[in-house]
Amino acid sequence: MSLHDLLLGPFVDYGFMRRALIACLALGLGAGPIGVLLVLRRMSLVGDALSHAVLPGAAVGFLVAGFSLPAMGLGGLVAGLAVAGLAGLASRATALREDASFAGFYLISLSLGVLIVSLRGSNVDLLHVLFGTILAIDSSALFLIGGIASFTMLTVALFYRPLLLQSLDPGFLRAVGVRDGLFHFLFLFLVVINLVAGFQTLGTLMAVGLMMLPASAAQLWTKRLPAMMATAAAIAFVSGYLGLVASFRLGLPSGPTILLFAGAIYCLSLVFAPSGALARNLPRRRHKAA
């Protein structure tokens, strides 16, 4: 088997592999920049909580329409926004921090979603909801994922400066008379819709993976925000491509394989990136030896 057949053959021969690859590209373009902003805001665990929060809405969509990705996606969007709103209200009305209120509501949502799916579906249905079916992506789901990615990129481009300032210094926005709460809600909305897109392919348990792992790795390679966003998107796409090829050739589940490649790139970045362990520690050792 030639190298061309090994690396490109699955996408040339099979339409479902091409759709899965395009979905990975769209996910990278949308979730990559949002993941970078999540890292800057130190809200990584909030992203994980929201990825689980979409489950009860997706489960309701499953009860109503079966494995209809638009119905499950719409339900997940409503549930995710509801949890984000309730957590925000709880943190403002009580002494709880926002991350603690998110944790509480996400645990409730996760339990409720699993219960709803279990009431009607089988264990196989539950596995599909929790871990996704990227190789089963059809044209309607692909258009939905592409639309979410396009909307995300357009919104980040239009509101780049206030989103950046709200991530780094929300006090400055308040000082100049800008309601930072509005941009905080806009940001959470972008997080939720990209998690809905990820849910279509990777399931509720792993949807946040392609958002956070590439973003965390990108932060080690560059300190310029636009370059960081582009690097995160590129890492997400490369992880998707390698994961799809490996899963096809080795008969492995596609979603976990994609995230394992993203995790491998993250681990390599921890060591070899300009802000990784080698670059930070080797000069010190040489200096001490001298």
Least confident of 55-64, 177-186, 269-278: 177-186
CA neighbours within 13 Å on the CB side: how many for 64? 14
On whether residue 8 sits in a domain, the answer given is yes
Structure confidence at residue 283 as a pLDDT band (50, 70, 90): low
pTM to 2 decimal places: 0.84
On whether residue 289 sits in a domain, the answer given is no
On whether residue 286 sits in a domain, the answer given is no
Dist. CA 207–CA 255, nearest whole Å: 9
What burial class does residue 158 get, using C-beta atoms within 10 Å of its C-beta: 0-12 exposed, 13-18 middle, 19+ buried?
A: exposed
On whether residue 283 sits in a domain, the answer given is no
On whether residue 290 sits in a domain, the answer given is no
- In one-letter notation, the amino acid at residue 115 is L
CA 168, chain centre distance (Å): 21
238 vs 97, which has greater pLDDT?
238
Q: What tokens does 101 get? A: 């209120």
- CATH code of 90's domain: 1.10.3470.10
The structure tokens 């990108």 sit at 218
What is the reported pLDDT for 290?
47
Instruction: Provide the mean pLDDT of the chain.
Output: 81
Dist. CA 95–CA 76, nearest whole Å: 28
On whether residue 65 sits in a domain, the answer given is yes
On whether residue 288 sits in a domain, the answer given is no
Q: Which domain holds residue 49?
A: 3-278
60 vs 270, which has greater pLDDT?
270
38: helix, strand or coil = helix
Over residues 226-243, mean pLDDT: 94
Q: How many domains does the chain have?
A: 1
| Contact of 76 with 57, CB cutoff 8 Å | yes
Least confident of 147-151, 203-207, 222-226, 280-284: 280-284
| Contact of 135 with 15, CB cutoff 8 Å | no
Segment 111-161, tens digit of pLDDT:
887 787 777 666 666 666 666 677 778 888 888 889 999 999 999 999 888
Over residues 29-47, mean pLDDT: 84
Structure confidence at residue 172 as a pLDDT band (50, 70, 90): low
